[in-house]
């Protein structure tokens, strides 16, 4: 149980740090760009989307390797254990969409639940950040 908690905490911490770095770097890079303000907003949106995809892949890689070791549990349903199925599963969890065609069993469920919570928090953080950036750079003309 301690190992599962440690691994889950590490993956969650990495995803939050990745998100922070993407958003922080966008605040340092975007203002120096010689483009109109409204295009700066679009740049920040694309940077945020890339950050989310990187975080989703982080969880997906964890699922991919965890299901190889039966002590973590299993993922069943429309899931063949491939990396791309792990990415699909991660996308549905991160976005809290959860189609229900794939179901986790065992200790891996803790990471699945944490991903949904982390995804919700990071998506909300992105929305708040984008709102702030829009207030900062919105062209009033």
Q: What is the pLDDT of residue 140?
A: 53
> What is the CATH classification number for the domain harbouring 24?
1.10.287.70
Its domain, for residue 119, covers 2-137
Q: What's the confidence (pLDDT) of residue 129? A: 93
Q: What is the rounded (10 degree) CA torsion for 90, 92, 98, 100?
A: -70
Residue partners of 72: CB distance under 8 A and separation at least 6: 4, 66, 106, 107, 108
User: Strand pairing of 74-77 and 102-105?
Assistant: antiparallel
Q: Which two tokens stand for residue 2?
A: 């301690």
- Reported as a pLDDT band with limits 50, 70 and 90, residue 141 is very low
Closest CA to 94 of 56, 66, 137, 58: 56
Summarised one tens digit per residue, pLDDT across range 43-82 is 889 999 999 999 999 999 999 999 999 899 999 999 999 9
Average pLDDT (16-26) is 95
| Whether the predicted model's global pTM rises above the 0.85 cut | yes
34 or 7: which carries more pLDDT confidence?
Answer: 7
**pLDDT band at residue 38, thresholds of 50, 70 and 90?**
confident
Domains in the chain, number: 1
In this predicted model, what pLDDT tens digit does every residue of 74-118 receive, in sequence order? 999 999 999 999 999 999 999 988 878 999 999 999 999 999 999
For the chain, give the mean pLDDT. 91
């Amino acid at each position: 149980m301690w190992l599962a908690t440690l691994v889950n905490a590490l993956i969650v911490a990495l995803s939050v740090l990745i998100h922070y770095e993407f958003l922080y770097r966008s605040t340092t890079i975007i203002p120096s760009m010689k483009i109109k303000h409204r295009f700066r907003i679009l740049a920040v949106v694309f940077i945020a989307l890339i950050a989310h995809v990187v975080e989703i892949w982080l969880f997906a890689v964890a699922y991919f390797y965890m299901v190889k070791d039966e002590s973590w549990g299993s993922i069943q349903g429309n899931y063949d254990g491939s990396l791309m199925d792990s990415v699909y599963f991660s996308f549905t969890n991160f976005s809290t969409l959860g189609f229900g065609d794939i179901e986790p069993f065992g200790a891996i469920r803790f990471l699945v639940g944490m991903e949904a919570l982390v995804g919700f928090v990071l998506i909300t953080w992105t929305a708040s950040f984008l709102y702030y950036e829009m207030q900062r750079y919105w062209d009033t003309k």
